[in-house]
Amino acid sequence: MKRLLAITLGILTAIGGFVDIGDLVANSETGARFGMSLAWVVVVGVIGICVYAEMSGRIGAVSHRAVFDLVRERLGPRVGLANLVGSYLVTLLTLSAEIGGVALALELASSVNYLLWVPVAAFAIWAALWRIKFETLERVFGLLGLCLVIFIIALVQLGPDWGDLGRQAASFQPTEGENWATYGFFGVSLFAAAMTPYEVFFFSSGAVEEGWTRKDLITERLNVFVGFPLGGILSLAVMGCAAVTFLPVGASVSDLGQTALPVPVALGRLGLVIVILGFFAATFGAALETGLSAGYTVAQYFGWQWGKMVPPRRAARFHTVVLVSVLLGLILLLTTIDPVQLTEYSLVFSAVVLPLTYLPILIVANDRDYLGDQVNGPFANILGVSYLIIIVVAAIAAIPLMIITGVGA
Amino acid sequence: MNQPEPVLLDFSLLDRQIVDSQGLMVGNVDDLELAVTDQGRLQVTALLSGQQVLGDRLGGRLGRWMSAVARRLSPTPDPQPLRIPYDLVDTVGSEITLTVAKDLLAEPPLEAWLRKYLIDRIPGGRDASQ
Amino acid sequence: MSKSAALATGAVLFVVLIGWAAASMWPVNASGYRDRIVAVADGSLSAVRTVEILADADQAGKVLPLYAHSVLDSARDHVATSQYDLATEPVSDADSASLRDELAPLLAAAATLLTDDTALTHPDELRQLGDQLQSFVERHQ
């Protein structure tokens, strides 16, 4: 019974934890401009993150070492350093975007300008990382993030023409008024939102933090293969709500208030409260994860003691990196850059860094020294390599598409 | 002291994580201290860990920059790397396990400095999380 | 990376950046202006439509005042940006001038509607203005 509870909690946490500010922004912007015609990218992305998260969780559980830890060993200190710089900078950018997301959610709830919330949010995030147990953080914010299920309920309540949505999803081409460049740009952004780099660092480090072993592999796989796809369905619901509400009237989405709007339209004030709570939980949880990931990448490269499993004074360098990262994220937001725009940039640069993140995972997952008999089977490798090709294509296309479309204008 | 089999330096020792007897992380093997035995063979006498030695080992502009930053960030004027004599090594596997606890080794100066002047000054740094 | 390779990469990046900056500052010809104008109109269209949807929901008691205030604030920002963009884009020919003359009053109407403190009680006026903006965008796309 206890085991069933643990598994359920794990799945629920994965669903709630899957969606972050990048998913919210990318899915609603895409839905408003392209309807469901880019839905296939979300499906492709979810499969990809499942394949790689399973690998990185397996690495953490079997070798008791986190993925980034192993990058330097396997690929050498120079490649490891290049990986570190790229991964850390993108994680920092994402952290900043998530803090911005928290501030935006608070603005929606209070009508107080988001800039005033930014320092509050940053402090709260740091304080939670400082004091609250890892498991508690995961559970609380993962479960609260389930509030976003309201999007599925709202979509059904809006009573869309499902056949129409299906036709859009199967059309695989830009909608009227859009071209292939913007289609490609939003496709890459959606893909990057589904396969966010910090997710895998976090997952394998989390496996080590929670002391997973081989026995936990089944739980780990359930979390990934059930939780993430359900999270993907949440993303598609966000896209669908935007498609039904904004596409027919020619409006495009550019802020979080618009992203939320379909929900009160369908479900009234209670729906509105739930969706704002969901935004808060999803972005706060993601900020916690990216903050930790920023610390993990640096500490694991240099071999420093990392993690929340020891008191902070025993991992001073790790906690300093986390603190400095949150501060840098805060400073970036205080330049008054639009948080939604910041999110869009973080997605593009995430796409560029994806190969750096995922190639080492594939290599380590095939290494018998670390995983013994739990190395990748042929099926996992076929999927892994196929996705690596897709990832490289997305990485190469990302910046040119950003320039050509003027960040999706 | 156990007699290890001939160990491939490049694959088995360098860049590996060093953990102490209780599983706490000590550092990475950033470089090795070698000595020539009487028979004229090379023997590993100690593991070296520290950002400055890593920078020196990486070489090139990147390595020099890393060493310079490490020196700048160090509270002592002439930072020495953490030197772990090879006879403290218990097993060499996916990580290198030592026979001793972390407290018996010298603490990296940056860690000590940050702990004293930053982390300990923030309330709640002494206990494990709630 | 060797010194010459680093220099070469730096040079390429520099050229790309200069090119990008130059391209965005180049004076626009007629079709370029039309694209810009349509983008400007698009921005205001989104704002007006959003407030229209919000107003409908507000009339039905479906939204909370603080949230409505946030969304309305955002929409006003977007319309203000559109007006700014329109005012800072010089026209070079008669066609562009007629586009500007067609859009300017629509933007002014949007600004007036949204800054009224009764903005949310006029969903029909918002709808009408939205339709006008949408037809503008569709005609000139």
Confidence of residue C1 (pLDDT cuts 50, 70, 90): low
Q: Contact at 8 Å (CB) between C39 and A246?
A: no
For residue B9, count other CB atoms closer than 10 A to its CB.
13
Please report which helix (H) or strand (E) contains residue A139, including its range: helix A134-145
Q: Which amino acid is at B121?
A: R
Q: Is residue B45 part of a domain?
A: yes
Answer whether C39 touches A (CB < 8 Å): yes
Collapse the DSSP code of A307 into the 3-class scheme (helix H, G, I; strand E, B; otherwise coil) and give the result.
coil
Both structure tokens of A181? 């460049």
Give the C-alpha separation, A25 to A234, whole Å: 13
Total domain count, chain B: 1
pLDDT at A169 over 90: no
| pLDDT attached to residue A98 | 95
Confidence of residue B1 (pLDDT cuts 50, 70, 90): very low
**Contact across the interface for C67 and A111, Cβ inside 8 Å:** yes
Q: Is residue B83 part of a domain?
A: yes
Confidence of residue A310 (pLDDT cuts 50, 70, 90): confident
Task: Sort out which chain C residues have CB atoms less than 8 A from A264's CB and list them.
Answer: 57, 62-64, 67
**Contact across the interface for B15 and A76, Cβ inside 8 Å:** yes
* Share of chain A residues as helix, strand and coil, in percent rounded to the nearest 5: 85, 0, 15
Domain with B97 in it: what CATH number? Answer: 2.30.30.240
| pLDDT attached to residue A257 | 94
Residue % of chain C over a pLDDT of 90: 45
Q: Is residue B67 part of a domain?
A: yes
pLDDT digits (tens, 9 = 90+) for A77-106: 888 888 889 899 999 999 999 999 999 999
| pLDDT attached to residue A343 | 93
Q: Which residues contact A156 (CB under 8 A, 6 or more apart)?
A: none
Q: Mean pLDDT over residues B41-49, rounded?
A: 86
Both structure tokens of A126? 């740091």
Mean pLDDT estimate for chain A = 89
pLDDT digits (tens, 9 = 90+) for A25-48: 999 999 999 999 999 999 999 999
Q: What size, in residues, is chain B?
A: 130
Q: Is residue B4 part of a domain?
A: no
Query: Chains meeting A at 3+ CB pairs closer than 8 A?
Result: B, C
pLDDT digits (tens, 9 = 90+) for A197-232: 888 888 888 888 878 888 888 888 888 888 889 889
Q: In terms of C-beta density within 10 A (0-12 exposed, 13-18 middle, 19 or more buried), how is residue A9 classed?
A: middle
Q: Contact at 8 Å (CB) between C78 and C46?
A: yes
Question: Which residue from C20, C39, C54 is facing A261, i.e. has the nearest CB?
Answer: C54
Residue % of chain B over a pLDDT of 70: 87
Give the C-alpha separation, A224 to A222, whole Å: 5
pLDDT digits (tens, 9 = 90+) for A257-273: 999 999 999 999 999 99
Domain span holding position B15: 9-125
Q: Is residue B130 part of a domain?
A: no
Mutate to test the interface with B, among A81, A305, A326, A364 (most CBs of B within 10 A): A305
Q: Is residue B2 part of a domain?
A: no
Single pTM value for the model: 0.90
Indicate the DSSP class of residue B128.
Answer: P
Mean pLDDT estimate for chain C = 87
Q: Is residue B3 part of a domain?
A: no
Q: Which residues contact B93 (CB under 8 A, 6 or more apart)?
A: none
Q: What is the ipTM of this complex?
A: 0.86
Question: Between B39 and B49, whose confidence is greater?
Answer: B49
Q: Mean pLDDT over residues C85-97, rounded?
A: 86
Mutate to test the interface with A, among C53, C106, C137 (most CBs of A within 10 A): C53
Indicate the DSSP class of residue A161.
Answer: -
pLDDT digits (tens, 9 = 90+) for C51-61: 999 999 999 99
pLDDT at C23 over 60: yes
